[in-house]
Amino acid sequence: MTTTFETTPIKETAWCPGCGDFAILAAMKSALEALDKSPMDVLLVGGIGQAAKMPQYIQANGLCGLHGRALPAAIGAKLTNHDLTVLVHSGDGDCFGEGGNHFIHAVRRNADITLVMHNNQIYGLTQGQGSPTSAMGAITATQPRGTISKPLMGPALALTLGCGFVARGFTGDVQGLSILIQEGIRHRGFSYIEVLQPCPSMNKVNSLAWYKSRFKDLTDDESHDPTDRCAALEAAETWGDTIPGGVLYRQPGPCFEDHLPVLDKGALVKQPKRSMSRIEHIFRTLM
């Protein structure tokens, strides 16, 4: 079967020229086509922000929710129809600012969804405020004297919480990013993929060239063992002249859906209507 995930004809993309989201969109379409996914079997979920616009620009099922609230909606959709391939697109502000609490519990529950976290170290949609991942000392629209908080390290946080698949990609390597997304989808359980990307309009420091000179792909590095959690944590916390990327950690384990007997009979949406009353119970587990 040949499938295509062309950009939707509804509207032109609203991203600025040079935005890393264009490369992520290309990598996403490439990954889904390489896995021979059908658009009707794929759900893209976003919150608010430039990253969260991704569901609007690809031919598949899409859901755009509230700021920072993409993950619980995605988990609810996955549990209701666990045959869906569910991907969440969230920015560093959407995911760790407004949505930090949801991120913690999404990793803990280990539902079989893939989170693609767009990290441009700035709030790109709302005129350049400092985000949770902004570098200490970074000059922004709301921190004219420099950011005084330490940046949050997403991959390290995910590993600390027990995430079974942690990876870091880069928009300067679309093919490599596509492979990471494919591996994240194949992994059964919660997959976290951080994507380093430039925001040329609001972040003049962390440019494409800045990332390119530092990003080191560990894919072909025989000294890196992706099953070694301690080594993965060391790579995740390395940030400076070298920024390790690729699959940092991979460890399969039972996912949230495995603990729900109601799903043994198949996807909830395909069961008799009397089974749909179980939705309320499932959603209560997410509270």
- What is the set of domains in the chain, with CATH numbers? 21-258 (3.40.50.970)
Q: Which residue has the higher pLDDT, 100 or 153?
A: 153
Q: How confident is residue 137, by pLDDT bands cut at 50, 70 and 90?
A: confident
Residue 127 CA to residue 140 CA, distance in Å, equals: 9
Number of neighbouring beta carbons within 10 Å of residue 104: 15
What region does 246 belong to: left with phi over 0, alpha with psi -120 to 50, or beta? left
Mean pLDDT on 210-225? 93
pLDDT band at 2 (very low <50, low <70, confident <90, very high): very low
Strands (E) in the chain, as ranges, are 42-46, 61-64, 85-91, 114-119, 165-170, 191-196, 215-217, 243-250
Burial call 168-190: b when 16+ CB within 10 Å, e when fewer: bbbbbbbebbbbbbbbbbebbbb
Q: What confidence tens digit (pLDDT) does each residue in 46-86 have? A: 988 888 899 999 989 999 888 889 999 999 999 989 889 99
> Which whole number is the average pLDDT over 111-137?
90
Residue 63 gets which letter from DSSP? E
The total number of residues shown for the chain amounts to 287
Question: Which of the four pLDDT bands, split at 50, 70 and 90, describes residue 287?
Answer: low
C-alpha–C-alpha distance, residues 156 and 53, integer Å: 26
The top-scoring range by mean pLDDT among 96-100, 159-163, 216-220 is 159-163
Radius of gyration (Cα) for the chain, nearest Å? 18
At 167-183, the pLDDT tens digits run 999 999 999 999 999 99
Measured CA to CA, the distance from residue 236 to residue 76 in angstroms comes to 29
The count of C-alpha atoms lying within 13 angstroms of the C-alpha of 10, restricted to the half-sphere facing its C-beta, is: 11
Residue 8 has pLDDT above 60, yes or no: no
- Report the percent of the chain where pLDDT is more than 90: 62
1 pLDDT above the threshold of 50: no
Taking only the tens place, the pLDDT of each residue in 11-36 is 678 899 999 999 999 999 999 999 99
Structure tokens at 11: 């509207």
Instruction: Name the band, by pLDDT with cuts 50, 70 and 90, for residue 272.
Output: confident
- Across all residues in the chain, what is the average pLDDT? 89
Nearest of 131, 230, 246 to residue 193 by alpha carbon: 246
Q: How does residue 274 score in pLDDT terms, banded at 50, 70 and 90?
A: low
How far is C-alpha 40 from the geometric centre of its chain's CA atoms? 20
pTM of the entire predicted model? 0.90
Among 102-111, 214-223, 245-254, 266-275, which stretch is predicted with the lowest mean pLDDT? 266-275
User: Helix (H, G, I), strand (E, B), or coil: what is residue 129?
Assistant: strand
